[in-house]
Amino acid sequence: MSAFAHALRSFQTGELTQDQLLSEVYRQLAVEHVAPLRLLEILNEQKLKQPLPDDTHETLLSRIAGWPQEETIATRSSQEQSSKSRIGDAPVTIVLGDPSGSTDGSKIDPKSNRTPPATVGSVLQGRFSLIALIGEGGMSRVYKAIDLRRVEAGAHDPYIAVKVLTVPFSHYFGSMAALQREAHKLQSLTHQNIVRVIDCDRDGQSVFMTMEYLPGESLYKKLRRCGPGGMPREDAIATVSSVAHALEYAHHNHIVHGDLKPGNVIVDDKCGVKVIDFGMARFIARRGEAAAAPNDEPTALTPRYASPEMLAGHPPEPADDVYALACLSYEVLTGRHPFGRVEEATGRQPHSRAPRSAHLTRRQYRVLSRALEFDRTRRTPSVAQFLKEFRAANRRSTGRWLALTGVAAALAAAAAMIALALGPPGWMKRLQALRSIAGPAAESVIRDCPTCPLMTVLPAGRFEQGAAAADLAATAFERPRHAVTIAYSLAMSTNEVTVGEFKEFVDATRRNMSGCETYADDRWQRTAAANWLNTGFPQSSVHPVTCVSWNDAVAYSRWLSRKGGHAYRLPSASEWEYAARAGADSAQPWGALAATACNYANVSDQNARQRFPGWDAFECNDGYVGTAPVGSFKSNGFGLNDMLGNAFEWVQDCWTIDYRRAPADGSAIAAGDCRSHEARGGSWFTAPSYVRASYRNRFGADQRSTSVGFRVVREMRK
């Protein structure tokens, strides 16, 4: 019996989950190189013997049928290049997840002799199997790839994007060390509207960068479907705002995009907007430093969206991104480029302006015209200023519509009051009962400054804290269970505070944080050389910071309060558990299906057991032994990531033996042993029985460990 047939039977008997079955499919295709047609034959044979559930069968069918056939690999690249390279006048960047072709009417220079050092079918570093070309530009090609290490670990999502340079990197970067320094700057761009850069490496002559893979479509493709008039107003405003937030954050980190266009903006499958392809060479010089980019850097501009200064070869500035953002904004609001088919800004009349479209109000047109000035000195100076003016223009333009709809709204409100007087229907009563416990879903996300943590606003509500008496696995520390009411709206950091976010605090305060407990030789021991930057396992700027004591976390919160202009603090234990449960009564999102825990959290798993024999571990693989990048697993019902697993999280409360002193209003316990404090949620190290919302642990206030991090809250009280 083939391995795939055996896996199908194991799935049908309940020994494998669907994610584990998919991992076996990826392993068969990418590692064992089994022909897709052979797997389809086995799938059909199994269907005749014992049919799979329809959704599972369709998923397997689409994944196997979509895998590139080996006989087409040799010809695919040349065919795609010939079909996609003669549409315009500039190098192209094709959006991830959008293999349809050129994104902005641009092309690769047909006279160029550059050839990609890797192509579909290549396996880089014995790990990244390139399975489809999904984008290309003047300096690189982007491939959808399978991370074979994640396949072997049984991870539920093995896809990654790999960007391979098509120019000799020594011509610009000079050395691999220089390239890695530049990539590290891009790694610092940890923002919800920017595609995450993971790492860079080389395999022989192939120099490549690994990035977050995002299934979705380009804004360019979306606009083509909209036709005249552009996108719906609300969608257009939201899209421009998301792109602006990404650029503002990058500028704060001294990085200019340099080639912003609809093809470099994607809408993923969850309707999130993300900017891709920040130029590797477009770093702004910090005060007192020389410019990071050399004068002879390769360029890959799209003339229709490039400012006159960029086309003239001047060093990039934030105002150049403002110009491109204004072009994009005009297009999403009207369906047309502001200058039509005129490709280069230098080909336009010096004092010409974009035409006033019937789809723009006068105020919108004035805002866009200022941002489209050909002279930098007259152009809107920053993205923040543009966004402020853009939002004001759109608020003004909606006022008249609101006035016209006021009467209709009043009539609708009156009808609703009559309906409520008669009593809500049964389904509404059940919904109201649910909301009285869990509260409504999170309303929004906020960020008080470009480098402040992203915060998710949680609703008020009440819940039962602690473990039920029937839960025999719970410790005495988790009882007795008691009712808690969170009577105020609260913002909690969407992710655990990251290494990159914490670095700003350490750089600003020069806090001494040497010494940390690490795990080795089957025990925890203090290591003088270990610290938040040197944990002993791989981490980047988007990993949760660990080796942080309770006192360190409190100091960070105070520093962040001054920086962000709002009062930040550690959550109370009640606030933390309320956020972790997210309206559910279960202390674990996977319930009784412990084998699926690795879909939800970075926990002690089979990978860890291989490295540390004898560990009590979940019967699954999450792809990590130490910490994982934040947001690598499913978010909970409130939209929060990594509430369980990854790293323990400090809370405000002083340690007490049980909940008898716990306030009913959700505030922290301020009495007891205040030399020790609670930590919640478990970590990459924690045994399965202790990874749950109600579990309580304690550490000394000065103790640092590679398994302990934190997140912050800020109150939204009016």
Instruction: Tell me: do 148 and 205 sit in the same domain.
Output: yes
**Mean pLDDT across 567-583:** 94
Question: Where is average pLDDT lowest: 66-75, 260-269, 327-336?
Answer: 66-75
Euclidean distance between the first and final Cα of the chain, in Å?
66
Residue 364: predicted pLDDT: 92
Q: Would residue 155 count as lying in a domain?
A: yes
Q: What is the token pair recorded at 454?
A: 């992203």
- Residue whose tokens read 């690249």: 77
Instruction: Tell me: do 288 and 257 sit in the same domain.
Output: yes
**233, amino acid identity:** R
Instruction: Tell me: do 490 and 536 sit in the same domain.
Output: yes
Q: Residue 161 belongs to a domain with what CATH number?
A: 3.30.200.20
Other CB atoms within 10 A of residue 394 CB: 20
Nearest CA among 175, 181, 310, 209 for reference residue 256: 310
Tell me how far apart the alpha carbons of residues 696 and 401 are, in angstroms, rounded to a whole number: 53
Residue 275 has pLDDT above 70, yes or no: yes
**Mean pLDDT across 320-328:** 94
Nearest CA among 122, 196, 193 for reference residue 164: 122
HEC sequence for 161-213: EEEEECCCHHHCCCCHHHHHHHHHHHHCCCCCCECCEEEEEEECCEEEEEECC
Band (pLDDT 50/70/90 cuts) for residue 575 is: very high
Among 121-130, 141-150, 478-487, 510-519, which range has the highest average pLDDT? 510-519
Give the distance from CA 443 to its chain's centroid.
19
Q: What is the pLDDT of residues 164-191, one digit of tens each?
A: 887 665 554 555 666 676 677 777 777 8
Q: Is 72 exposed, middle or buried (0-12, 13-18, 19+ CB in 10 A)?
A: exposed
Q: Would residue 646 count as lying in a domain?
A: yes
Other CB atoms within 10 A of residue 162 CB: 28
Q: What is the token pair recorded at 79?
A: 């065919």
**Mean pLDDT across 244-273:** 84
What is the average pLDDT score of the chain? 77
**Mean pLDDT across 606-631:** 86
Residue 420 has pLDDT above 60, yes or no: no
Tell me how far apart the alpha carbons of residues 690 and 579 are, in angstroms, rounded to a whole number: 18
Q: Would residue 375 count as lying in a domain?
A: yes
Residue 101: predicted pLDDT: 36
Q: Would residue 433 count as lying in a domain?
A: no
Paired residues of 698 in beta bridges: 678
Decide which of 344, 369, 389 is a domain's last residue. Answer: 389
Paired residues of 520 in beta bridges: 523
Residue 419: predicted pLDDT: 38
Band (pLDDT 50/70/90 cuts) for residue 717 is: low
Residue 409: predicted pLDDT: 40
Max CA distance (Å), the chain: 79
Q: What is the pLDDT of residues 457-515, one digit of tens each?
A: 998 888 888 776 556 566 667 667 778 888 888 899 999 999 989 999 999 999 999 99
Domain total of the chain: 4
Instruction: Tell me: do 571 and 682 sit in the same domain.
Output: yes
Tell me how far apart the alpha carbons of residues 639 and 636 are, in angstroms, rounded to a whole number: 5
Query: Residues of the chain with pLDDT > 70: what percent?
Result: 75
Structural domain including 248 reads 227-389
Q: Would residue 586 count as lying in a domain?
A: yes
Tell me how far apart the alpha carbons of residues 424 and 659 are, in angstroms, rounded to a whole number: 38
**Mean pLDDT across 383-404:** 69
Decide which of 157, 176, 211 is a domain's last residue. Answer: 211
**Mean pLDDT across 279-298:** 42
Residue 24: predicted pLDDT: 80
Q: What is the token pair recorded at 285?
A: 């010089």
Paired residues of 164 in beta bridges: 141, 208
Residue 10: predicted pLDDT: 85
Question: Where is average pLDDT lowest: 346-350, 474-478, 578-582?
Answer: 346-350
Q: Would residue 657 count as lying in a domain?
A: yes
Q: Would residue 271 count as lying in a domain?
A: yes
Instruction: Tell me: do 53 and 116 sit in the same domain.
Output: no
**Pairing between strand 708-709 and 648-655?**
parallel
Band (pLDDT 50/70/90 cuts) for residue 96 is: very low
Tell me how far apart the alpha carbons of residues 679 and 717 are, in angstroms, rounded to a whole number: 25
Instruction: Tell me: do 8 and 38 sit in the same domain.
Output: yes
Q: What is the token pair recorded at 21?
A: 């079955």
94 backbone φψ class: left, alpha, beta (φ>0; ψ -120 to 50): beta
Band (pLDDT 50/70/90 cuts) for residue 578 is: very high
Instruction: Tell me: do 161 and 289 sit in the same domain.
Output: no
**Mean pLDDT across 143-169:** 77
**593, amino acid identity:** L
Residue 126: predicted pLDDT: 83
C-alpha pair distances (Å), 645 with each of 163, 510, 629 = 31, 29, 12
Residue 280: predicted pLDDT: 53
Residue 711: predicted pLDDT: 97
Angle among Cα 335, 341, 346 to the nearest 5 degrees reads: 120
Query: Residues of the chain with pLDDT > 90: what percent?
Result: 25
**Mean pLDDT across 309-332:** 90
Nearest CA among 93, 367, 446, 384 for reference residue 249: 384
Residue 144 has pLDDT above 50, yes or no: yes
Contacts of 455 (CB under 8 A, 6+ apart): 445, 446, 447, 448, 491, 492, 493, 494, 714
Q: Residue 502 belongs to a domain with what CATH number?
A: 3.90.1580.10
Residue 269: predicted pLDDT: 61
Residue 365 has pLDDT above 80, yes or no: yes
Q: What is the token pair recorded at 82?
A: 């010939």
Decide which of 211, 239, 256 is a domain's last residue. Answer: 211
Instruction: Tell me: do 101 and 243 sit in the same domain.
Output: no
Among 98-102, 212-216, 440-444, 532-536, which range has the highest average pLDDT? 532-536
Instruction: Tell me: do 196 and 236 sit in the same domain.
Output: no
**Mean pLDDT across 7-20:** 82
**Mean pLDDT across 584-592:** 81
Residue 355: predicted pLDDT: 83
**446, amino acid identity:** I
**Mean pLDDT across 572-592:** 88
Q: Residue 266 belongs to a domain with what CATH number?
A: 1.10.510.10
Instruction: Tell me: do 534 and 633 sit in the same domain.
Output: yes
Instruction: Tell me: do 61 and 79 sit in the same domain.
Output: no
Instruction: Tell me: do 125 and 78 sit in the same domain.
Output: yes
Q: What is the pLDDT of residues 548-560, one digit of tens each?
A: 999 999 999 999 9
